[in-house]
Structure formats: C-alpha cells, structure tokens
Chains A and B, each alone.
Chain A
Amino acid sequence: MKMYLSNLFTNPDMQEKYLDIFTSSFLPLVKGALYYTIPLTLITFAIGIVLAVITALMRLSNVKFFRGVARAYVSIIRGTPLLVQLFIIFFGLPSLGVTISPFYSAIIGFSLNMGAYNSEIIRAAILSIPKGQWEASESIGMTTAQALKRVILPQATRVSIPPLSNSFISLIKDTSLASTITYTEMFRKSQEIAAQNYEFLLVYSEAALIYWMICVALSFVQDRVENRMERYVAK
C-alpha cells in the first residue's frame, strides 16, 4: 500500500500510467453506464412501479384471494436474496427448458424485486391519505376507481416520491449484480478492463465514482420533483 501511494504521489511515470488507464477506461465505463446500466435501471423501475401499484391495490382490496397472492409475492421476494433470485432465473430455469438471455433475466429479476419493495411504499402512501378524501370523492359521485385515479393516487404519489427515489438509487447500484449473470453493464465492463491491466483499485474506484456521479445527479432531480410536488402543500 505504501508503494502504491508513494508511486501515486511522487513517481511521474507511474502518475502518467495511472492517468492513462483512468482516461482510457473512462469512456468504456461511461458507455457501459449509458448503454446498459441506465437503460436496465429505467426499464426495471418502470415495470416495477406498475407491478408495485397493482400489488399495493391487491393488498388493499376486499378480495381475500388478491390479498393472499400479493402478500405471498411480497414475502417471497423480500425474503430471498436478489442474487439468488437472479441465479434461479438465469442458471436455474434452463433446467426446466426455459432459457432466458442475460438481459431479460436481469429485467425479470430486478422488476420483480422493485415491484415487491415498492408495493409496500405505495401501499403506505395510499393509506396515509386521510379518509375524508375518499369520502369527499364518493360524495360527488365518484366510483372507487375514479377516486383512486383522480384524488388518492395523485396525492399518494407526492408522499411516495422520497422513498421511491431511495429505492431507485438502490436499484442503480444493485444492477451491478447483473454482472454475475454475464450481463455486461458498467461493473462487468470494469471487471473486464481490470482483468487486462490488473489495476483493480483504480478501475473499480473509477466505476464507483461513476455510480456516485449518477446518484448525485439523481438526487438533484429528486429535489426538483419534490419541490414541484410541494406546491400545493401548506408550508
């Protein structure tokens, strides 16, 4: 470690070499993020939200069967490791004759995960809307579906933005697990680069830096969205 650091600070040749590796890896890593990590995140988050809303509504429904199915789904997904789920989908299902590409395996695995976790966020957000809002909607003649769509969900959305942002940020980082099922997103790209030049510390740190930059940018977007949603809330 001493060697590494002293080289880094004093040896101009080494400095140039590190800088070289850093700059030459930067573009492939950013490409990995732009072409693979970010699309995978966006697609799975979108599918996950749809699944989550459906699951949340099932859990809140009067029909026992729906409640049971939703509860079982959430329990199984939350009770087992994401990595194990990905392995079952990608390495396990072929034994049943179902072979799914790394990309679609990742989409399925992450979407199921997002759906389960986010359904709890959305359920809590719906429950946090005062009963009077339902009553006011019904009193002007709305059906339950209309009340949900026009009154409850718009307000629940505002409540759920902070926790959903949290889960979005977790998802971005969790997509690195897709590397284990041979999907070449940013982290797998960094593994490939490091395997060639043996500069593990440098290359992995670089990958970490890019993840961090994406998350910082997202936090900024989150603040903007939250501010916009707060416009109708008394300060």
Chain B
Amino acid sequence: MIKVNQLNKYFGDLHVLKDIDMNVNRGEVVVVIGPSGSGKTTLLRSLNILETPESGEITIGERSLDFSRPQKKKQLVEFRKQTGMVFQNHNLFPHLTAVQNVMEGPVTVQKTPKTEAKKKAADILNKVGLGDKLDVYPHQLSGGQQQRVGIARALATGVEVILFDEPTSALDPELVADVLDVMKELAEEGMTMVVVTHEMKFAEEVADRVIFMDQGTIVEEGTPDEVFHSTKEPRTQQFLQRIGQ
C-alpha cells in the first residue's frame, strides 16, 4: 500500500530523514515511536506531502512520486487525496460546525451533492460517537471530541490510508481513551494506518508493526512483541527505559 524508498529530508543544514525505507501493507497498522526530533512526524507529514522531501520515492496505491525531480502542484494534490491526516491539534475548521467540517472534503474536493455528503458525514460522526454533536462548532467540543471530528473528517473522503500525527498528545489524560477506542475500531475494520504516538499501550495492543526512529533513521522495527519485549538495539532499549516501558 505504502512504499518509501531512500527518502531524504533536510531543514536547512539539518538532515532530518536519512535514506528512509519503509513498507506498509494494505490493512496494516504501523506505529512509529521515537524521541522528539527523531524525524517521525516529518516522515508522516512527508507521506501526505505536507513536507516535501529532497530526494527519494514514495508510492501510495497506484501513484508514485520521485522527489529528486520537480513536482507539479497538481500531481501533489492528486497524490494527497489518497491519504487522510489527523493532526495533533486537530486543525478543525473553526468557522464550520462538526458536520460541515466532515462534509467539506466530499463537497469541495469530490463534488458530492450536499445532501448526500451531509448524510454520510452524519453517519461517520455517529460512528465516532458524536451523533448528537452535528451542528456544534469545534470550540464547543472537548479536546477528545474535537479529535474524533478530526478523524471523521479524514475518513469522509473515503481514503484507504489514514495518517495520525500524535493524535492524543494534546489531550487531557481522561480524554485519550475515547480517541484511542475510535482508532482501535478503525484498525479492526481493516483501515491502513500509520500512527505516530507516545501511547505504548495502544502500540502493543493494536499495532501490527512498530517502527522505532532516532536521529532521522529507522533503528528497529518488528512486531510490538519483538520491539518492546525482545529489543535488539541499545538505542531502542534506552528510549523504552526512559519512557518507563
């Protein structure tokens, strides 16, 4: 489903992604962990072309992008449509209600008729447990509810891959579970997911594979059991110890 080949990204002199290779199969849940500054968020954002890598290749579904060549804006837009993104601070549209947030993609991008899009958006919001909050503005929702609207918005365009960028990091502890439950449910339904998170328990329970990144490289990857319980790399061990795992 996703294939990343020799990806490199620089911020000025800082080499944040170093020859990254990564594969994600259809229906797989991959959790990316690592210390801050390890490049995990940059990798995730590159998959949605919110960052433009300097070289390397990303294939998602049928489409490939080779970053060593200049890209046409239109190609990038088309490429992006294959993935949905859930942001750390949800980035909901504050001037739109919950249901309007979720409809926005289908209506504006896919030209779905409004009544149809609204019905579908209501269904999705219902599914994430917000069927009673359709006409509420984001600021009237709790952090966990906002993030679930964010997930619904990412789902609404019918994408096959959803990228999660630390979806629970900005939440109060008691709200985290609601969001993780929704993600778990998605995983069970067979959604392909790449999740950057610090929720190790979620990684253990839900992930098919865990990737540990440090200083712009993938240091170790494997099943949650392999990475958490029979850790091979000292750097991974150090990290897991530090976060108390």
Q: A: which residues have CB within 8 A of B?
A: 130, 132-133, 135-136, 138-144, 146, 150-151, 154-155, 158, 231-234
Cross-chain contact B105 with A141 (CB below 8 angstroms) = yes
Once A133-B93, A158-B95 are accepted as A-B contacts, the answer to whether A233 and B139 lie under 8 Å apart by CB is yes
Contact count A vs B, C-beta below 8 Å: 72
One of A151, A155, A158, A232 near B137 (C-beta < 8 A) = A232
Interface centre among A138, A140, A142 (most CB of B within 10 A): A140
B245: chain A residues within 8 A (beta carbon): none
Closest B residue to A132 by beta carbon equals B91
- Residues 98-130 of chain B, each 1 if its beta carbon lies under 8 Å from chain A, else 0: 000000110011100000000000000000000
Complex Cα distance, B138 from A233, in Å, reads 9
**Separation in Å of the B100 CB from the closest CB of chain A?**
10
**Separation in Å of the B118 CB from the closest CB of chain A?**
16
**Separation in Å of the B64 CB from the closest CB of chain A?**
18
Complex Cα distance, B104 from A139, in Å, reads 12
Cross-chain contact B95 with A136 (CB below 8 angstroms) = no
One of B77, B91, B139 near A234 (C-beta < 8 A) = B139
Query: Is chain A's interface secondary structure helix, strand, loop, or mixed overall?
Result: helix
Say if the beta carbon of B85 comes within 8 Å of chain A. Answer: yes
Say if the beta carbon of B193 comes within 8 Å of chain A. Answer: no
Say if the beta carbon of B195 comes within 8 Å of chain A. Answer: no
Say if the beta carbon of B55 comes within 8 Å of chain A. Answer: no
B89: chain A residues within 8 A (beta carbon): 132
Complex Cα distance, B1 from A160, in Å, reads 44
Say if the beta carbon of B80 comes within 8 Å of chain A. Answer: yes
Interface centre among B85, B91, B138, B156 (most CB of A within 10 A): B91
Cross-chain contact B95 with A155 (CB below 8 angstroms) = yes
**Separation in Å of the B157 CB from the closest CB of chain A?**
6
Cross-chain contact B109 with A136 (CB below 8 angstroms) = no
A142: chain B residues within 8 A (beta carbon): 77, 105, 108-109
Complex Cα distance, B85 from A132, in Å, reads 12
Cross-chain contact B139 with A143 (CB below 8 angstroms) = no
